Amino acid sequence: MKHAVLLSLLLAVFAPAYPADTPAPANRYAATIVPAERFEIDGMLVERHGERGTPLVLVPGLASGSWVWQDTVRRLKDRHVIYVATLPGFDGRPAPKGDALLGAQKALAELVASRKLVKPVFIGHSLGGILAMAMASIYPDMPGGVVAIDGLPVFPGTEDMPPMARTQMVDSIRKRMAGLTPAMFAAQQQQYMRGTGVTDISRADELAKLSARSDPQAVTAYLAEVLSLDLRPGLPKIKAPVLVVAPWFDADAAQSGQPMEDKVAQYKDLMGGTPKLDVVAVPSARHFVMFDQPDALAAVLDKYLKSL
């Protein structure tokens, strides 16, 4: 029953919808800080900020670009050299060829190698957090730290799902997303941002217009791979300290019946086996914590980075 409910929720979020409203001429979240350098690695766009300090690699989540990290960059660029990655297929980038997640991992590894980064800290949001964990388990000696902002090694609700049921769920998602038009995708992103992304409707609508710049089929490919993924067997290999940020919104909790301490416990359970783990809740925030509670997230990141 739990698996059927999860599938219904996913299909509701990623099902075709009616066209969204006409985009406004300006978007208050679209402006980005001019980087010191911009370059590409295997289709992944990288923007560098700052000149010194512990290197940080910031990886946005599904259908997101560097606009996600602007507040973080602004706060940290004077103390760290920052590399902001935008994955192929997102924010107007050409779609990836072949395995999307494997390609992203290879590009991130090439970034570290080509720039000779020493013990970089991977900070990822959602899908980006999953990639940060993957890098730390595949290359245990590479990162100096890992931060996953609402990103987990297995999609919550699928942790006990049999392989056949997982395959069927992924196939259903692919079929529902096939033939998605840009207008339908834009409406879908608006629906997601309003219901799951952020707490403020006006902010949700503006951010949805940015996430709608991503390629619908690329988003489908990444999503399908994430739903098929289970990184838990590799967690004990991670040597770097891992921080998981768990957003919690009281209005959502009233519907789900999950207190904040229970959500933290759930995240710790899914991260079981991680040698150095801390899970920190950020109240009054949904999935995009950096927009709902920028000061609280900044304080959490600052404390973590100073502890390394």
Which pLDDT score, from 0 to 100, does residue 12 have? 41
User: Do residues 55 and 113 lie in contact, with contact meaning Cβ atoms separated by under 8 Å?
Assistant: no
In 10 A of CB 102, how many CB atoms? 12
Write the CB contacts of 55 (distance below 8 Å, at least 6 apart in sequence): 80, 81, 82, 83, 115, 117, 118, 119, 120, 121
Structure confidence at residue 17 as a pLDDT band (50, 70, 90): very low
230-256, pLDDT tens digit by residue?
999 999 999 999 999 999 999 998 888
pLDDT, the chain, mean = 91
User: DSSP letters of 191-243?
Assistant: HHIIIII-S-HHHHHHHHHHHTTS-HHHHHHHHHHHHT-B-GGGGGG--S-EE
Residue 6, both tokens: 């999860």
Out of 15-24, 30-39, 245-254, which region has the weakest mean confidence (pLDDT)? 15-24
Residue 166 in tokens: 């997982």
- 302: pLDDT strictly greater than 80: yes
Contacts 24+ apart (CB under 8 A), 192-195: 192/13, 193/288, 195/13
Report the C-alpha gap between 14 and 185 in whole angstroms: 9
Mean pLDDT of 6-21: 42
More reliable by pLDDT, 302 or 6: 302
HSE of 154, CA atoms in CB hemisphere, 13 A: 19
- Enter the DSSP assignment of 288: -
- Checking if the pLDDT of 205 tops 50, the result is yes
Average pLDDT over residues 157-177: 88
> Mind listing the pLDDT tens digit for each residue in 79-118?
999 999 999 999 999 999 899 999 999 999 999 999 999 9
In this predicted structure, the answer to whether residue 282 has a pLDDT above a threshold of 90 is: yes
Above 90 in pLDDT, residue 61? yes
Question: pLDDT for 256-267, tens place per residue?
Answer: 888 999 999 999
Q: For the segment 126-145, what is each residue's pLDDT rounded down to a tens digit?
A: 999 999 999 999 999 999 99
- CB of 112 closer than 8 Å to CB of 142: yes
Q: Which whole number is the average pLDDT over 175-196?
A: 91
Using the structure block, give the residue that is written with the tokens 């069927």: 168
Instruction: Report the Cα 10 to chain-centroid distance in Å.
Output: 16
* pLDDT at residue 21, rounded to an integer: 43
